[in-house]
Structure 1
Amino acid sequence: MHTAITLAACTALILTLAACDQKPAEASPAANTPAAGQAVVAFTPTPDLGKDIAALPRLVGTTRAIAAINADLDTLDAAARESAASCDNPDGGYSRWITQPMTGPAFVTYAISEEYNCGGPYPSTGQTTVTYDLASGRRLDWSDVLKAMNANNGDTEGMPAGSVPIVYSPALAAWYVRTIKAQIAGQDGGSEWMDQCAPVFDAEEFSTNGFRLSVDAEAGGLTVSPELPHVVQACGDAAIMDAPAMRANGVDARLIEALATAHAAGNWAPKE
């Protein structure tokens, strides 16, 4: 059983079972038939790994690329099971939620939000995003996507299987500082944010700060989020690298075009 998600097709997507408010088995043939020029990305829901522990929806298809992506999703789900098993809380101290910031064409992104309440004074949270190229079946390598910015991937040794590396780039850090200040300046409360957070980004050592990136159809670009210490995490707003900025920084045209198509079509889930 699977659900086909066509570009510009659905106004809402329930990740666990259905698109367009219909159960997969009840979907009409028209809902699964793409119009001319549209691409189809289909997912099949996967049972939860445990209470409040969502599993990653698998891609439907028989290509080598899809098989490779699904195998990597298996690895990520297995790591989540290990996290749940190692969390010392009989009431269920580990939780996991999944969203899909991009559901085609050409690329799919999964965002994994986790909460750990394993006996410490406060729960901790984490967010990981991973984007797959549907042509190759491989994850996007940000050191390659942002090669013109001399981006490098951080070390994942000792981290859970499938961990996504943090990205380091002085050029990306400089771009982020310029962009986030301009982005915040026009918002309500922007002056207060600047007073409190500008020193974090003006510090010389921020050039060595790491970032997490995501291909985000709703935002229409790449979301760039700094990895900050807990004490200043409130300053870590995501900056959006839009199409002109991506072109200026040497991002491949195929990714830029796919994002534009996905944004226009509403290819993300769930929708608010």
Structure 2
Amino acid sequence: MKRNLRSTASRGGRAAIRHGACAVLLAMAAPAWAADRTVTLKAQPEAKADIVVMPQIDAPVDEAERRINTALKRLDGNVRKAAKQCTLGDGKPGDWGRSVETSMRGPSFVSFVIHDDSFCGGAHPNSSTMSIVYDLTTGAPVDWTKLLPPSLTGTVALAEGMDGTKMVTLASKRLHRLYLERYRPKTGDSKQDDADDKECREAVTETFSGDPPAMMAWLDAKEGGLAVQFDLAHVVQACADTVVIPTAILRREGAKPVLVDALDAAHAASR
């Protein structure tokens, strides 16, 4: 009887150990599994008229997704504060508008593009584009130096958006060259269009004859690539187009598989 009791206890102990080991492995795998999914984003009530609030990940499944939701709420706080401080010369409230585009919802990354337009006095309105990409595994903004080769990241810096938010920029000659190769290709449709495009081609090329521009980057699931844009002087602001560099080029340039594979999967799901 004692031997049987010992044998039963031993089997129970081994089962408990196996159960515990499985639980640990599942816990370790959970973030990776969550990052592989496409997240659902839920729209929030507007902060005020014309200011769209950042969407939230609906029913977050792990700490990384909860961290992203917290960070998105901080972005809302920034624009609320900036819009409140936006006044005209006579002290009357100015105008502030914001739109938000979710350009990728997984796997691995969630990407946002934020467009702000404001008039807080002065000679003309202001407009700005900001981008931020979050890693669904960690919940932190992506580190582009771990996803793109040095030739494409160049000098990594922080730029300040209209609402004071800090956003990462990449100043790379190679990235700028890839941008220019795809910027407003000649179509021959109209002499006037060609003339306008020629002026813009000169603006995006010659404005930065020395150092490359500080470029915003984000992930575009619909187009299947890395979207790039940078600010221009107000007089040629209309020339500040977004250009998408496809994954085939990113692979050739040495981008990490985790980035290009996620983009390909998101692009396939968007079709």
TM-score by length of 2: 0.74
Structure with the larger RCO, 1 or 2 (CA within 8 Å, 6+ apart): 1
In 1, the alpha carbon distance for the partners of 2:229 and 2:197 equals 17
What amino acid does structure 1 have at the position aligned with 2:167? V
Q: Which runs of 5+ in 1 are unaligned?
A: 1-37, 268-272
Q: Which runs of 5+ in 2 are unaligned?
A: 1-35
Query: Contact (CA 8 Å) 2:86, 2:120: kept in 1 or not?
Result: yes
SS at match of 1:70: helix
Deviation at 1:194, TM superposition (A): 5.2
1:125-178 Cα offsets, whole Å, 9 max, x none, are 111111111111111223433333152222447985542122111221222223
Task: List aligned pairs for 1:77-226, cutoff 5 A.
Answer: 77-89=76-88, 90=92, 93-149=95-151, 150-156=153-159, 162-180=165-183, 184-186=185-187, 188-189=189-190, 191-193=194-196, 195-200=198-203, 201-202=205-206, 205-226=209-230
Q: 1:226 to 1:127 in 2, by over 3 A?
A: closer
Query: Contact (CA 8 Å) 2:160, 2:167: kept in 1 or not?
Result: no
In 2, the alpha carbon distance for the partners of 1:157 and 1:193 equals 30
SS at match of 1:88: coil
Q: 1:229 to 1:221 in 2, by over 3 A?
A: same
Q: Which residue is 2:257 aligned to?
A: 253
**How many residues are matched?**
228
RMSD: 2.6
Q: 1:76 to 1:203 in 2, by over 3 A?
A: closer
In 1, the alpha carbon distance for the partners of 2:257 and 2:218 equals 16
More helix per residue:
2
Deviation at 1:49, TM superposition (A): 1.0
> Does residue 265 of the first structure (1) align with residue 269 of the second (2)?
yes
Q: 1:121 to 1:67 in 2, by over 3 A?
A: same
TM-score by length of 1: 0.74
1:74-122 Cα offsets, whole Å, 9 max, x none, are 2211101111111015455111111211122221111111111112232
In 2, the alpha carbon distance for the partners of 1:234 and 1:206 equals 22
SS at match of 1:98: strand
In 1, the alpha carbon distance for the partners of 2:215 and 2:230 equals 4
In 1, the alpha carbon distance for the partners of 2:105 and 2:161 equals 31
What amino acid does structure 2 have at the position aligned with 1:65? A
- More displaced stretch, 236-245 vs 158-167: 158-167
